[in-house]
Copies of this chain bind each other. A is one copy, B any other.
Amino acid sequence: MGRLRLDVNPAPATTPADADAGAHPDAGEEAAGPDGEGTLRRRSATIQDVADEAGVSRAAVSKVIRDAYGVSPEMRQRVEAVIARLDYRPRVAARAMRGSSFTLGLEIPQIGNDFHSVMAAGATDFLAETPYQLVIAPIRDPQEGDKAIQSLADRQVDGIVAVAPLVSSDWLDRLAERIPVVMVGRHDISTRYDTVAGDDEAGAEEVMEHLIELGHRHIAFLDIDRRRGQGGRSKTFISPTGRDPHAIRRRVYHEHMGALGLPPRVVNGAGHMEEDAAAAVRPLLDDDESRPTAIFAGHDTLAVGALRAIAAAGLDAHDVSVAGFDDIPIASHPMISLTSVDQQGYAIGQEAIRLLLERMGGRTEAVRLQMPTTLRVRGSTAPPRRR
C-alpha cells in the first residue's frame, strides 16, 4: 500500500503552442475553439493576452489588477471586461518572483490533533477579509517540523506560523532573517521571531493543585514520546532548554510531586496519537495496588486515549482520574467530560496571524505573547475511592 509506480515525474507542462504570432488563446471561452476537445491541457490566459485583447500595455493591466494608482476609469473598465471574458487569473508564482505570493504558511505537527485544528480555524478566520491565503503543511512525524517549515519557505510564502517545539532556535533565527516567522507554543526568547504560547506553567500548576486537593497522591504523568523518529536529523533535537510546553508541564508535575515527597511516575505516550496513549496506559491499570489514582496527560488527545483504556478496563474517575491540557472540543462532551486546561487555542491562532501580519508590515522588535489559562473541571477528575 502506498507504493506508487515511479512514473511520478509530471508530464512536461509545455504545450505544443509555438505559434507566437499573436495567437490569443481565448481561454475560458465556452466555445471550445478550433482545438478539438481532446485531452491536451489548454494554456490559460496571461497578462499579455489581456493586454493585447484590451489594446493596452501589460503595465496597464497590472495596475488594474493591483488597484494601483494611475488608471483612467475607462481603461479600468475595458480591462476588467476582458479579464472577465478571458477568465484571466494572475499566476501567483510569477508574482512571487517580483514580490509577494500573498500566501501564508502554517505548519502543524500533527494533522488530526484537535488542538491544532482549532488553532488553524482561528488563523483561517482571522485571514478572512485579507488578501492572504493560508496553506497548511501537514507532517507525518512531529520530528519533521523543520522539513515542512523549510518547504513552506521554499514556496515563497510571505510569512510562516509554525508549531515546532523541537526545532532549534538558532535554525529558526536564521530562517527568520529571510522571512517573517511566528512560533506557537515556544517560550524561548528570540529577537528575530515572535512567539505565542499558553501559560503552560500556570496551567500545569492548576492541574496538580486540583488533583492534590481532590486527595490524589498516586499521580502519573502521561508524556509524549520524544524518542520516536530517532534518526539523527541535524536541525531537530530534544529540547535541551526544557522550555517546550511538554517539558514545562512535566517539570511542574515533578515539582509538585517532589514538594509532597511523592514518587513521580512518568509514562511515555509512545507517540502523539490517542491509540498510542491508550496502549501506554493499559499496563498501568492491571495491578490494583500499584495503579495510579490519577493521570495528568500532556495533552488532551493523550488524555482521551487514557480514558479509552480506563473505560475499557471497566474503571471510572473514582478509580483513575484523568486531566488533560488544551480543552479540545470533545473534552466538554458530556460522555467524555474531561477535566482540562483551556489555553484558548482559537485565540492563539488568531494572535499568531495578527503578529505575523504586523511583522510583515514592518515591525522589527520581537513580541512574546502568553495566553492565560483556565482549568475546566469536569467529571473525569474525582476524589479517589478509599481502598
Chain A residues proximal to chain B, CB less than 8 Å: 1-2, 4-5, 7-14, 28, 39, 41-42, 44, 89-94, 96-97, 99-101, 103, 111-112, 114, 117-118, 120-121, 124-126, 128, 130-140, 150-151, 153-156, 158-159, 174, 177-179, 274, 304, 307-308, 311-312, 329-330, 333-336, 350, 354, 357-358, 360-362, 364
Q: How far is the CA of A335 from the CA of B333 in the complex (A)?
A: 10
Residue among B153, B174, B274 making CB contact with A89, cutoff 8 Å: B153
CB within 8 A of A7: which of B10, B13, B330, B361? B361
Chain B positions within 8 Å of A118 at CB level: 112
CB distance from A323 to the nearest CB of B (A): 16
Residues of B within 8 A of A96 (CB): 93
Closest chain B residue to A124, Cβ basis: B138
What are 27 A-B pairs at a CB distance below 8 A?
Answer: A2-B128, A7-B362, A8-B130, A8-B360, A8-B361, A10-B99, A10-B361, A11-B362, A39-B364, A89-B153, A91-B97, A91-B154, A92-B93, A92-B155, A93-B96, A93-B101, A97-B97, A101-B155, A111-B120, A111-B121, A111-B124, A121-B138, A124-B140, A133-B151, A135-B135, A307-B335, A336-B336
Give A122's nearest chain B residue, CB to CB: B2
From B11, B112, B178, B308, A117 is in contact (CB under 8 Å) with: B112
A56 to B361, CA, bound (A): 39
Q: Which residue of B lies closest to A148 (CB)?
A: B133
| B100 contacts A10, C-beta separation under 8 Å | yes
